[in-house]
Amino acid sequence: MSEDSNSAILDPISSVTEGCRLPVLMTNGEDWPLAEIISIKDTDAGKVFYVHYIDYNKRLDEWVEEDRLDLRKIQYPRRDLASSTTTGLNTPKKTLTGATNSRPSSPGLTPDPITGPSVLAALQQKQQKLKRRKLDHGEEDDGRRSSIGSLSGSIGGLADIDIPSLTPLTPQPPSTPQQPPASSVPRQTGSLATHSDDHAITRIKNMKMIELGKFRIKPWYFSPYPQEITNLDCIYICEFCLKYRKSRKCLERHLQKCPFKHPPGNEIYRKGSISFFELDGRKNKLYAQNLCLLAKLFLDHKTLYYDTDPFLFYVMTEYDARGYHIVGYFSKEKESSEDYNVACILTLPPYQRKGYGKLLIEFSYELSKFEGKTGSPEKPLSDLGLLSYRSYWKQTILEILIGLKPQEGQEKPQLTINEICEQTSIKKEDVISTLTTLELINYYRGQYILTLNKDLVESHRRMMEKRKIRIDSKNLHWTPKDWAKRGKW
């Protein structure tokens, strides 16, 4: 038996490597779910392990000590699988210098910074290798080039009325969009681009705590703040301009000079204490980038987007005597070929479960109504975002169906899916999926009918009673812009 094998038997913790899976005791619980070892580091107290609980949201990922690992049921990663999935993108060579390193330390990883330029350089380097390989084998380049875009730097009814059916309803299956030619492929991501797990380091939370206004918030996910900031126990963020500082004293000095008491931009909506501000990602670039950095702490399915020029940002605030405090925001493309009315959407954790998420969604559709368009959020949505959208679509559509009355000469009220889309600005595909999920569509005697039961109507009435805050279109002062005619953004 080799010396390494003897040491592994004497010290089983030494056999634990990145990629291993084993049961781990969760914080504040008695459960031992299966978890994957993402990273290992040495501390004065011994080794600590960053784990991801399988089938759990990544916001629960955490550093754990040895005593929370069940080493009796360890599963080692397959070597053939690990080697086959290794690509040049996973470990890009250092091609740029002088950029800020925002990665936490992890054994075996190069200290290259995770920035838009560095990842873009790695992609280009990989592309050049593929081209050289094709030329070496005598293959002709067909002229098609993969599009490498900028990296991101971006969620009352009447109970006593029995409505037996609504007819007719003639849904059409959503048409499959044709792919545009390669030369005109549109941007495929929003102000926070789709996140890839190619960089294992981006799976590790690098922030312990942030202080935003009167709240201290524990971040959920990785965000590429500068490394000298991420090493601190807490960073302090100005809630008006979103600049970050190393200490509370630095923040206090900044607040004495900060000219803002609200987000920069135009206030386009105000009702009660709720206001919405519209910001241009080109005119307010620094604020937009700081907003994306902050949002990335709570959005895992996106990665930071540095080019904010093509986007508009709508920041929702709550007013008090101290100023306008950020509650959440959503961004949208100035020109969207896919009719997206939201690129990224986020309600900050202290304001979640208070109806603000649905208010953001409702406001995005109110803008679509002013534009005379139907819209849909950019996919993929986060788990919480998807729940919020499904709930909003359900409540909005049911509100229309329950309030519908038959016209003169009709036995039952009639409505088409296109009419639902026109009244709500919800895209047809989302309307059909919502009706299907609610099991409202039925095929009867050659036509589709909608059937509502009393239980569904009563459930909707109770939900609408809880929804205290709504968007009032009379308080929206906004004129849509045709960005195609405005030339460069």
- Asked whether the bond before 413 is cis by omega within 30 degrees of 0, the reply is no
Tokens of 145: 């080039």
Tokens of 227: 């490394």
Asked if residue 330 lies in contact with residue 315, where contact means CB atoms within 8 angstroms, the answer is no
The torsion angle over the Cα atoms of residues 226, 152, 155 and 224, rounded to 10 degrees, is: -10
Provide the 8-state DSSP code for 380.
Answer: S
Classified as helix, coil or strand, 88 is coil
Asked if residue 4 lies in contact with residue 170, where contact means CB atoms within 8 angstroms, the answer is no
Q: Which of 413, 411, 339 is nearest to 371 (CA)?
A: 339
Classified as helix, coil or strand, 214 is coil
- Asked whether the bond before 23 is cis by omega within 30 degrees of 0, the reply is no
| Residue 316 exposed, middle or buried by CB count within 10 Å (0-12, 13-18, 19+) | buried
CA-CA distances (angstroms) from residue 141 to 132, 145, 149, 179, 461?
10, 9, 21, 21, 61
35: β partners: 22, 53
- Please report which helix (H) or strand (E) contains residue 457, including its range: helix 454-466
Classified as helix, coil or strand, 257 is helix
Q: Are strands 441-444 and 376-377 parallel, antiparallel or unpaired?
A: unpaired
| Residue 332 exposed, middle or buried by CB count within 10 Å (0-12, 13-18, 19+) | buried
Q: What are the strands of the beta sheet with 34-43, ordered from one edge?
A: 21-23, 34-43, 46-53, 62-65
426: β partners: 375
Number of H helices, E strands in the chain: 11, 20
| Active-site amino acid positions | 378
Asked if residue 314 lies in contact with residue 235, where contact means CB atoms within 8 angstroms, the answer is no
Classified as helix, coil or strand, 428 is helix
